[in-house]
Structure 1
Amino acid sequence: MKFAMLGAGGIGCLYAARLIQAGHQCVLVARGEHLQALQQNGLLVDHPDTQFHGSVDATDVAGLMKQHSCSSFDLLILGAKGGATQAMLAEMKTWLQGATTPILSIQNGVTNEALIEQQLGVERTIGGLGIYVSGHIVSPGHISAQGAGQIDFGAWPTAQDNPQMATLCQTLAEVFSDAGIPNRLYTDVRYALWRKLVINNGVNPLTALTDLKTGAITTDPILRRTVHTMMEETARAANAAGVSLTKEDVEEMFDLICNFHDIKTSMQVDMERGRTLEVNEICGPVIENCRKINQPAETTELIYKLLVNATQAHPAEI
């Protein structure tokens, strides 16, 4: 199959490497020094189960649209930051509308699929996320990653609502498995997205604010309690949005992050490197949906406010 990885960062490059090693074509869409390194020196991926060093087909968005037709791809995988989704789709609008190629989002947050649907319709939208994985660009062209690197996905918004995409997802599940990408197929992918947000909202903002890795956050008595509270607020927001999350879901996600590798979250790395944070994509839906039912997510609102103030205090760095 032929794939395009839109936003070939740490996690996107890991998945691309596995697909390439399995014999598939994968065009990596990146920018800046990372793109230059990919084009000149190839891709280097360091992962306990995936070692890759070789030349790759890499380009930017403009190059992708000039060098390839959208219809030549079997699947577009959107791995860019959530804050870039709308702008990227707008930039590619004409190119995308000339085909029927579906898009699979593997991004953080619960709002990306709705943006894809708005432009391309449910018949081309696949919801998803990368889970049990951490990956960062160590230096341009060099990726370090850890974790199983699983993709959880499904037809948007549900398999029942989108049977054509549900059938394609069955095929993709086999392709991913054959490429060494663990995966789980959901009939209602919204449940998977909100469960992942439980973890993202629980730890990502706190790691960015404190510059502590997840292990330090989850073993500190006060911060550990804060993580759990923000996870509970996320579950409350999910239920307000019509997605049923239980106390058991919260406890399972809490246990998972407490026993996962001691990692820097993507938001922590973005904070260190002066990049725009995914705080609106991660905290925003929690705050918004809890307000709708007049049960404010007070802890999430506090951490969100502190993060926004911290970034605004150094506007030249973001």
Structure 2
Amino acid sequence: MKPDYHPNWINIDENKMSRGASSSLTQLWHSNGECPKGTIPIRRTTKEDVLNSVKIYRKKNFPKQQHASAYTNGQLYGTKATLNVWNPKVQKSNEYSSAQIWIVGGSFDSDLNTIEAGWHINFFPRINNPQERVYPGLYGDNNTRFFIHWTSDGYKKTGCYNIKCSGFIQTNNRIVLGGSISPLSQFGGGQYEFTLAIWKDLESGDWWLQWGSGLVVGYWPSSLFSYLSENAWMIQWGGEVVNLGSHGHHTTTQMGSGHFPLQGSGKASYIRYIEILDESSNSRTPNDLNTVVDQNSCYDVLTYISGDKNSYLFYGGPGRNKNCP
């Protein structure tokens, strides 16, 4: 239940960390203790969970998703990055806001393979059948939560959030997938962050997930995937929202801190210390960061490559504003 291969990640220089930033995040359930060795923590199953089909939890291919993110291409075997954590406002049902990492293989047209991890808030499933019961999303609250997701067919029939379906194998008794995160970053105040690493085990072929400096959470078996059973061709970092809008107006759902990246450290959301595992399984800073921005008057991203040990980006925005009606 441990990876056979663990990358020799570049050490982060703690002296370069932003003033006021802290990695001392926890999950709220830790106030009640930890699970015994040999077990894993699982969110309590509610009546609503039972009444709703698992297929609801798979829905992620919304036609009105908007992104502000950066990516790199190549023959890739993993990534490591540090994300600061916020609690953006989400306007309405069926919308959500997330900050995440995407590991991508296959074609966007039909057979997309993805592995995803990060934090999100207030996801409400899109119900296509009006006869299906609607209830307050995955969690029923507005907390910022750690999440994972995967698919092997472009979100059609495979995959789900967290461990709502078979797939991801959890091996850690200290992390709840879907658990609330605390404390949260404050505009102009303290910044709180966590580091995620996702890499392909060169022995087993499985994709492993690690939180922080040493908490290996579990793995996605190689057998789940077609293209990702070999390697990824793209890795992406940034924000995503669903914009359903109303009466012809853009949603007011925020991305990240709810502020544009130009406002910089302490005000805008960031993802930093970005590293990749390349075709030689060497850990390095990406040589380039391309960007995806669907509507930069609503959400935007700025990327930076500083020396050979730090690639980072600021991203986010308020949604509807005078330039994004």
Higher-strand-fraction structure:
2
- Tell me the TM-score normalised to structure 1 length: 0.29
Query: Larger relative contact order (C-alpha < 8 A, sep ≥ 6)?
Result: 2
Instruction: Judging by fraction of residues, say which structure has more helix.
Output: 1
**TM-score in terms of structure 2 length:** 0.29
